């Protein structure tokens, strides 16, 4: 259910006489700054939302899309407990880029809605939603906007003493358990951080009567004499369906960082690894209906009506049982090493130079298998081999802050090398070496009556790969042609 937040502004006029003898109360002003463009969220003309880390922590274990779902113009592409991709003004996929500390998250989430965003939300400083011209600076294709997850792995200011936090969460609907730990401190002039999170959630429980049969009318029209028998069998099958298959998730993440700071700025190094195993929920009735219609059309006029109905019912029952036991899941494993910093200058036209060098090693394995825990059951040959998505990337980002007073000027240069491949049963991309060079510019001026924002970006993309020839089985083609001739 979508959460809607309503804000009311009330103006109260108080006469000077009523203020006589009252004590003046001063409220502390809290200013939230978006690190992405360096402006305050309090400026209503900026297309920026900032969700602070406390709100993320209080929200519990949720996907990235669920955390930002309540923000204006942002929704969630929900595909299970582990997968939730943000949608900005109706755009998603490659049109919305997810960043971590200002650099692109090099995963395969943009290829499909059932792939999780490879970023951990433990010990997060804030989540920034950026729309408009400023979204053009750091990444190509970000026409919808940018979601930037800023964590606390590299402190930008010196820490005082040592501090830490320990959290635990339990969910009854899926027997979920989660534990997180974070430590921060200063040792010998170095700022050290460490965070850990472990999440384990089983399949979601389904309340009784929550599953609706959308195909009852269709089957009654097609098989009137078998309606009562089919209804009883179908209801019996649904009575046993008390959990949502493949809605489980298990995630473990570690993040370690250190930094040193001074009047000159800061520089830091971080390492993070994230591994997860999550099921992909599905509803077999949609595929069942489509396959049933194709089956009826294929045998129309070829088989006797009674024989066709019996064969259809037998195939329907086998197909339903097969998908009830099917295990659809994904496993991810990623390691990220990042060196980042900010150097202040005394030049009149250049305030600071921000830089980041990041190396990503990401792998996702997706597999369909029969039986519990992916084990093949006797009598089923539907098991498919795994499909492996891999991405090894090195990215360099340099940002120049040319701002003067209230005039914001930023120039960003990004260079990235990627080696992407999708190999396996459902492979559709041969290994490709990709080089991307991006030059972005953003300016913002307050004209008094309006704010003028301008964003420009130049992209140069070079891809080096090969085209694999597809070889068809001549015998299979002959059978296919013979089958079409019979129809």
Domain of residue 129: give its range. Answer: 16-205+243-281+325-486
Tokens read off for 15: 């006469």
Q: What are the backbone dihedrals phi and psi of residue 431, each rounded to the nearest 5 degrees, phi first?
A: -55, 135
pTM over 0.85: no
What pLDDT does 76 receive? 87
- Give the C-alpha separation, 181 to 203, whole Å: 25
- Dihedral of the alpha carbons of 221, 225, 227, 228, in degrees to the nearest 10: 160
Tell me if 193 is assigned to some domain: yes
Tell me if 478 is assigned to some domain: yes
Tell me if 313 is assigned to some domain: no
Counted domains in the chain: 1
- In contact, 114 and 82? CB cutoff 8 Å: no
CA 111, chain centre distance (Å): 11
Give, rounded to a whole angstrom, the gap between the first and last alpha carbons of the chain.
47
- Give the C-alpha separation, 321 to 137, whole Å: 51
- In contact, 118 and 125? CB cutoff 8 Å: no
Tell me if 445 is assigned to some domain: yes
What pLDDT does 468 receive? 57
Our CA angle for 122, 274, 184, nearest 5°, is 40
Tell me if 369 is assigned to some domain: yes
Secondary structure class of 6 (helix, strand, coil): coil
What pLDDT does 399 receive? 92
What pLDDT does 474 receive? 47
DSSP notation for 316-328: HHHHHHHHHTEEE
Q: How far is CA 439 from CA 99, 130, 138, 398, in A?
A: 17, 18, 8, 10
Tokens read off for 104: 């692109």
**Residue-wise pLDDT tens digits, 159-211:** 988 999 999 999 888 888 999 999 999 998 899 999 999 999 999 888 877 76
DSSP 144: S
Tokens read off for 453: 């924002």
- Annotate 428-483 with three-state secondary structure: CEEEEEEEEEEEEEEEEEECCCCEEEEEEEEEEEEEECCCCCCCCCHHHHHHHHHH
Tokens read off for 223: 């098989």
Q: How far is CA 225 from CA 230, 378, 442, in A?
A: 10, 33, 70
- In contact, 277 and 233? CB cutoff 8 Å: no
Helix and strand totals (H; E) in the chain? 7, 20
Q: What is the CATH number of the domain that holds 30?
A: 2.40.170
**CB neighbours (10 Å) of residue 387?**
18
Tell me if 24 is assigned to some domain: yes
Tell me if 463 is assigned to some domain: yes
What pLDDT does 413 receive? 93
What pLDDT does 19 receive? 38
Query: Which portions of the chain are predicted below pLDDT 50?
Result: 1-22, 40-45, 217, 234-239, 283-306, 308, 310, 318-320, 371-381, 470-476
What pLDDT does 84 receive? 86
Tell me if 224 is assigned to some domain: no
């Amino acid at each position: 259910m979508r959460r809607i937040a309503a804000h009311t502004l009330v103006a109260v006029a108080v006469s000077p006489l009523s203020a006589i003898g009252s004590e003046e109360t001063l409220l502390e002003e809290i200013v939230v700054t978006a690190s992405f463009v360096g402006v305050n969220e309090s400026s209503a003309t900026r297309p920026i939302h900032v969700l602070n880390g406390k709100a993320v922590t209080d929200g519990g274990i949720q996907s990235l899309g669920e955390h930002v779902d309540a923000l204006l113009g942002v929704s969630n592409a929900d595909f299970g407990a582990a997968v939730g991709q943000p949608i900005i003004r109706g755009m998603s996929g490659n049109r919305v880029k997810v960043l971590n500390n200002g650099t692109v998250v090099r995963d395969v989430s943009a290829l499909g809605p059932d792939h999780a965003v490879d970023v951990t939300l433990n010990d997060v400083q804030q989540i920034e939603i950026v729309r408009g011209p400023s979204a053009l600076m750091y990444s190509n294709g970000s026409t919808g906007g940018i979601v930037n997850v800023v964590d606390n792995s590299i402190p930008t200011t010196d820490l005082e003493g040592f501090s830490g936090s320990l959290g635990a969460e339990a969910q009854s609907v899926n027997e979920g358990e989660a534990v997180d730990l974070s430590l921060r401190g200063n040792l010998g002039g170095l700022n050290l951080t460490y965070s850990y999170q472990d999440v384990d959630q089983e399949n979601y429980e389904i309340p009784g009567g929550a599953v609706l049969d959308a195909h009852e009318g269709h089957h009654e029209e097609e098989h009137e004499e078998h309606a009562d028998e089919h209804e009883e069998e179908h209801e019996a099958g649904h009575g046993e369906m008390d959990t949502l298959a493949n809605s489980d998730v298990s995630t473990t993440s570690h993040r370690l960082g250190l930094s040193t700071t001074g009047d000159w700025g800061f520089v830091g190094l971080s390492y993070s690894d994230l591994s997860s195993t999550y099921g992909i929920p599905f509803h077999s009735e949609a595929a069942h209906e489509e396959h049933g219609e194709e089956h009826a059309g294929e045998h129309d006029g070829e088989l006797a009506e009674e024989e066709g109905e019996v064969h259809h019912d037998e195939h329907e029952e086998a197909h339903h049982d097969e998908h009830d036991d099917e295990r659809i899941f994904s496993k991810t494993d990623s390691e990220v090493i990042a060196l980042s910093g900010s150097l202040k200058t005394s030049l009149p036209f250049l305030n600071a130079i921000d830089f980041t060098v990041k190396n990503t090693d990401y792998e996702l394995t997706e597999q369909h298998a029969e039986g519990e825990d992916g084990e093949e059951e006797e009598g089923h040959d539907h098991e498919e081999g795994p499909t492996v998505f891999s991405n090894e990337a090195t990215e360099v980002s340099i940002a120049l802050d040319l701002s003067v007073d209230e005039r914001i000027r930023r120039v960003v240069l990004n260079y990235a090398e990627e080696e992407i491949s999708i190999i396996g049963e459902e492979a559709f991309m041969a290994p490709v070496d990709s080089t991307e060079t991006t030059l972005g510019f953003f300016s913002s001026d307050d004209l008094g009556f309006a704010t003028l924002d301008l964003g420009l970006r130049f992209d140069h993309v070079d891809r080096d790969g090969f085209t694999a020839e597809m070889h068809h089985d001549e015998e299979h083609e002959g059978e296919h042609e013979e089958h079409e001739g019979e129809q």
